[in-house]
């Protein structure tokens, strides 16, 4: 075995280069749009130009007669064919105990459209151009209805209703904690700090847009859907439920995925329309969203407005936390959109602090905008932003150093396992130690000298910090894998978790190397095929701690099975065999058997194990992120001039990939803090930020200095056999409060304390400059 193939060089803890990259860099990636099938047709959607209107009629005659057009589908036709609406947030209630109130979301609008971009009809033609031309010929007669797109306006008395049953436009609401206990704590507090906080709406902006190609196999009638998704099994189930097919009649296949960020979890109406079109036409049907469609109709993220209050005693110990939140869930309250804001975010709202008394009231508000859903972090960034803004503001107002305030309120290691007031149990955590490491990494003590140097150049320098944790796992703790040791010298592992650019395949392969002790080039990871196996998929940063743990368990079970087979071949007891590096050997003798040779002796020429296993609970990764900014007063421009973070992610399988996730996530969070925002015109309901000409996305230069990123592996997770913690979203969660706290600090240090309270993201130059101007 050469040095280049030594297994230990490619196992856990090694910065192995991603095995996925060779084909991608060579242009040999296989995305949905790279697949073209014989007889393939193309689908184009007709979308509503109105935020709220009755659909009086849809005239498809002219479009249907145009060259190349095969079919024009309408919502009325699909309803007649018993295509079911998308499920709503059925698990949630309103204050009167009634079920969540939301309009039925038909896959093509029936009777009413409720946001600009909602699909109304679908044209299927021989070419994209023919489909687009015909889509323009579909005549839809709309009768405009009153609309509302802003959250507070929608919740105000007398606002136009999106759905009659949702009085006050409240789809659902939840309360957590105790109103009475919190009121008592606030009444005896020495200090009360309050902030109005906005977490603006953003788009996921994946490089690859949503893409779907559906085809029916003529002999069997099976429907195969190739698409860009994070959750193949979930999409398969939704398609089957909507169009009335048994699970075994539909297969979902996923190739390369150009980014997900949460917005490719689950099925969209468009996915079901494409699947239905292929089902009835018996021809392949492809739809690839253009960028404008993605801005209009893909799930948006965030969009909450909160009134947050902190009660503290004279020594700065937090007595209670009270939050009132309006969450804009768009025109349709989806289960994901509501759960993220009313339940998942609150799970981490008290974060790393020992806060025992809470009073939370969260409302899901309907508006004439695109529905919200999962976006990197999904509720946790919003919650952490709120508590970290409060912590810094509390320190300023009561005159306690913000580091000291955090020390006085941290949950201590000897309190672990710790159950927070939302009844979520943290298994491990050393939050003060992580903060101390970050302070040293960022040279916190040397900031004054750097601030003076900035002042000499006419700039205001600020220092921001965020100490926080997050919940990972999606609360789906079981995962299935199959392991096949093949006679040709390959170990093939299938997992239902799904890659979307993070290097999951490489990390899973390293875990196989750990277990079997074979070179990396002997391992083949297969993902994204519901015919190979079902599973939850990739969301909530669960891919490695749940999926990876399942690979570890499945590999061990395969070795145990192989041990029994080898014992039979060598005529010894299984316990007499030692396994190492692909060889079973009887110690002290020359009796041995190669693993792959053993596979070749089996009737199927493989050793196959189908393994399902579970982890014990979620993971609670945590970190401390520290940001330094400079503000240029004449322009209001903000530069991120230093960024340091220490992240407790438990055991690290691949440092290169983990660092990429942490830093990429941080840049995404910085983007929200400084530039990103979805805007709807309140007068017309039209999206103003409908393209990359209008929506500002973060670019590489948004951080002008190299990031300092460290991982703390000293506190492994106790809930899974690998000791790992979810990492995909952690950077995003810490970045937004660290940046905004840094800007607030820069203003406060220069006599503008009251402005620090009024900061709202995104902190664009125009907004910051306007804020800094003297009042009338």
Read off the pLDDT of residues 476-528 as tens digits, 9 standing for 90 and up. 899 999 999 999 999 999 999 988 888 899 999 999 999 999 999 999 999 99
Handedness of CA 248, 227, 213, 242 (dihedral sign): positive
Confidence (pLDDT) at 566? 96
Report in angstroms the alpha-carbon separations of 588 from 357, 569, 585: 64, 18, 9
Confidence (pLDDT) at 502? 87
pLDDT tens string 692-742 = 999 999 988 898 778 999 999 999 999 999 999 999 999 999 999 999 999
SS3 316: coil
pLDDT tens string 279-305 = 999 999 999 999 999 999 999 999 999
Residue 322's pLDDT band (cuts 50, 70, 90): very high
Asked whether the domain spanning 33-145+205-297 has the same topology as the one spanning 3-30+474-614, the reply is no
Query: Is pLDDT above 60 for 5?
Result: no
Among 712, 379, 383, 729, CA closest to 544 = 729
Mean pLDDT of 70-80: 98
Confidence (pLDDT) at 539? 84
Percent of the chain with pLDDT over 70: 99
Query: Is pLDDT above 70 for 7?
Result: no
Query: Is pLDDT above 70 for 218?
Result: yes
Report in angstroms the alpha-carbon separations of 692 from 301, 523, 765: 17, 41, 18
- As a dihedral over the C-alpha atoms of residue 15, residue 19, residue 25, residue 29, rounded to 10 degrees, the angle is -150
Across 703-728, b (16+ Cβ under 10 Å) vs e yields: beeebbbbbbbebbbebbbbbbbbbb
Sheet holding 41-47, edge to edge: 69-74, 119-125, 41-47, 285-288, 211-216, 223-227, 250-253
Query: Is pLDDT above 90 for 475?
Result: no
Percent of the chain with pLDDT over 90: 90
pLDDT tens string 164-187 = 999 999 999 999 999 999 999 999
For residue 443, is it left (φ>0), alpha (ψ between -120 and 50) or beta? Answer: left
Confidence (pLDDT) at 536? 86
Q: Return the CATH class of domain 3-30+474-614.
A: alpha beta
Residue 128's pLDDT band (cuts 50, 70, 90): very high
Q: What is the mean pLDDT of the chain?
A: 95
Residue 6's pLDDT band (cuts 50, 70, 90): low
Q: What is the DSSP letter of 544?
A: I
pLDDT tens string 22-57 = 888 899 999 999 999 999 999 999 999 999 999 999
Query: Is pLDDT above 60 for 189?
Result: yes
Confidence (pLDDT) at 51? 98
Report in angstroms the alpha-carbon separations of 687 from 290, 691, 729: 16, 10, 27
Q: Return the CATH class of domain 33-145+205-297.
A: alpha beta
Quote the CA–CA distance of 505 and 489 in Å, as a whole number: 19
Confidence (pLDDT) at 776? 63
On the 0-12 / 13-18 / 19+ scale of CB atoms within 10 A, 485 is buried
Q: What is the DSSP letter of 546?
A: I
User: Residues with Cβ < 8 Å from 352, sequence gap 6 or more?
Assistant: 410, 411, 429, 431, 467, 468, 469, 622
Other beta carbons within 10 Å of 699: 10
Report in angstroms the alpha-carbon separations of 595 from 476, 484, 581, 589: 34, 11, 9, 18
Mean pLDDT of 265-275: 97
Residue 78's pLDDT band (cuts 50, 70, 90): very high
Interstrand relation of 523-527 and 491-495 (parallel, antiparallel or unpaired): parallel
- E strand intervals along 100-254: 112-113, 119-125, 139-144, 170-177, 191-202, 211-216, 223-227, 250-253
Query: Is pLDDT above 80 for 10?
Result: no
Residue 3's pLDDT band (cuts 50, 70, 90): very low
Query: Is pLDDT above 60 for 4?
Result: no
For Cα atoms 267, 268, 272, give the angle at the middle one, nearest 5 degrees: 85
Confidence (pLDDT) at 628? 98
Query: Is pLDDT above 50 for 15?
Result: yes
pLDDT tens string 342-371 = 999 999 999 999 999 999 999 999 999 999
Model confidence, pTM: 0.95
Quote the CA–CA distance of 395 and 310 in Å, as a whole number: 11
Mean pLDDT of 2-6: 43
SS3 613: strand
Quote the CA–CA distance of 359 and 183 in Å, as a whole number: 9
- Asked whether 230 and 264 are in contact (CB, 8 A), the reply is yes
For residue 472, give the H/E element and its range.
Answer: none
Query: Is pLDDT above 50 for 2?
Result: no
Domain ranges of the chain: 3-30+474-614, 33-145+205-297
């Amino acid at each position: 075995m050469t040095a280049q193939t030594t297994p230990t060089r490619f196992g856990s803890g090694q910065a192995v280069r991603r095995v996925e990259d060779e084909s991608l860099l060579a242009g040999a990636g296989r995305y949905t749009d790279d697949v073209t099938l014989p007889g393939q047709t193309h689908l184009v959607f007709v979308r509503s130009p109105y935020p709220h209107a009755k659909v009086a009629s849809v005239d498809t005659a002219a479009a249907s007669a145009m060259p190349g057009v095969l079919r024009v589908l309408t919502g009325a036709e699909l309803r007649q064919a018993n295509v079911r609406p998308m499920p709503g947030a059925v698990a949630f209630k309103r204050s009167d105990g009634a079920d969540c109130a939301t309009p039925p979301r038909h896959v093509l609008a029936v009777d009413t459209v409720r946001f600009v971009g909602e699909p109304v009809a679908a044209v299927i033609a021989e070419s994209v151009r023919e489909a687009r031309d015909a889509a323009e010929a579909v005549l839809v007669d709309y009768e405009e209805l009153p609309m509302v797109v802003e959250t507070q306006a929608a919740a105000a008395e007398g606002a136009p209703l999106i759905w009659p049953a949702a009085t006050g436009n409240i789809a659902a609401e939840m309360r957590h904690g105790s109103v009475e206990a919190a009121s008592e704590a606030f009444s005896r507090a020495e200090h009360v700090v309050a902030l109005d906080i906005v977490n603006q709406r953003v788009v996921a902006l994946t490089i690859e847009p949503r893409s779907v190609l559906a085809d029916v196999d003529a002999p069997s009638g099976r429907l195969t859907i190739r698409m860009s998704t994070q959750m193949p099994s979930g999409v398969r189930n939704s398609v089957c439920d909507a169009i009335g097919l048994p699970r075994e009649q539909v297969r979902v296949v996923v190739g390369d995925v150009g980014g997900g960020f949460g917005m490719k979890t689950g099925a969209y109406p468009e996915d079901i329309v494409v699947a239905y079109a292929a089902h009835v036409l018996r021809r392949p049907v492809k739809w690839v969203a253009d960028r404008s469609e993605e801005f209009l109709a893909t799930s948006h993220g965030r969009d909450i407005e909160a009134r947050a209050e902190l009660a503290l005693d004279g020594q700065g110990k937090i007595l209670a936390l009270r939050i009132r939140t309006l969450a804009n869930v768009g025109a349709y309250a989806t289960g994901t959109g509501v759960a993220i804001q009313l339940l998942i975010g609150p799970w981490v709202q008290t974060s790393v602090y020992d806060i025992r008394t809470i009073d939370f009231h969260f409302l899901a508000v309907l508006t004439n905008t695109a529905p919200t859903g999962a976006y990197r972090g999904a509720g946790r960034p919003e919650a952490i932003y709120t508590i970290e803004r409060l912590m810094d503001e509390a320190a300023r107002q009561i005159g306690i150093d913000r580091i000291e305030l955090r020390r006085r309120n941290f949950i201590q290691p000897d309190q672990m396992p710790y159950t927070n007031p939302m009844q979520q149990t943290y298994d491990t955590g050393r939050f003060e130690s992580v903060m101390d490491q970050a302070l040293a990494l960022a040279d916190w003590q040397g900031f004054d000298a750097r601030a003076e140097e900035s002042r000499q150049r006419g700039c205001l320098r600020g220092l921001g910090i965020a100490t926080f944790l997050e919940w990972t796992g999606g609360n789906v703790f079981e995962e299935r894998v199959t392991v096949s040791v093949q006679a040709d010298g390959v170990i093939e592992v299938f997992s239902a978790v799904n890659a979307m650019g993070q290097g999951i395949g490489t990390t899973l392969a390293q875990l196989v190397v750990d277990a079997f002790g074979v070179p990396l080039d002997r391992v083949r990871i297969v993902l994204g095929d519901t015919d190979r196996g079902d599973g939850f998929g990739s969301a909530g940063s669960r891919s490695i701690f749940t999926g990876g743990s399942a690979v570890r368990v499945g590999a061990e079970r395969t070795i145990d099975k192989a041990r029994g087979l080898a014992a039979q071949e060598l005529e010894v007891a299984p316990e007499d065999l030692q396994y190492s590096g692909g060889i079973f050997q009887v110690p002290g003798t020359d009796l041995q058997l190669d693993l792959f040779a053993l596979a070749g002796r089996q009737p199927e020429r493989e050793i196959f194990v189908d393994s399902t296993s579970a982890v014990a609970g979620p993971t609670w990764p945590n970190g401390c992120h520290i940001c330094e900014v400079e503000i240029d007063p004449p322009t209001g421009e903000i530069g991120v001039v230093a960024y340091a973070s220490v992240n407790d992610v438990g055991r690290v399988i691949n440092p290169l990939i983990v660092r990429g996730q942490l830093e990429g996530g941080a840049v995404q969070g910085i983007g929200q803090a400084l530039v990103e925002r979805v805007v709807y015109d309140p007068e017309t309901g039209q999206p103003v930020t409908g393209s990359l000409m209008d929506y500002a996305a973060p670019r590489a230069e948004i951080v002008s200095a190299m990031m300092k990123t460290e991982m703390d592996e000293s506190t492994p997770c106790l809930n899974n056999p690998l000791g790992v913690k979810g990492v995909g979203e952690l950077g995003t969660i810490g970045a937004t409060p660290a940046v905004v706290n840094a800007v607030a600090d820069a203003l406060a240090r220069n006599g503008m304390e009251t402005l620090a309270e009024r900061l709202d993201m995104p902190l664009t130059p125009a907004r910051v400059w306007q804020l800094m101007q003297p009042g009338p």
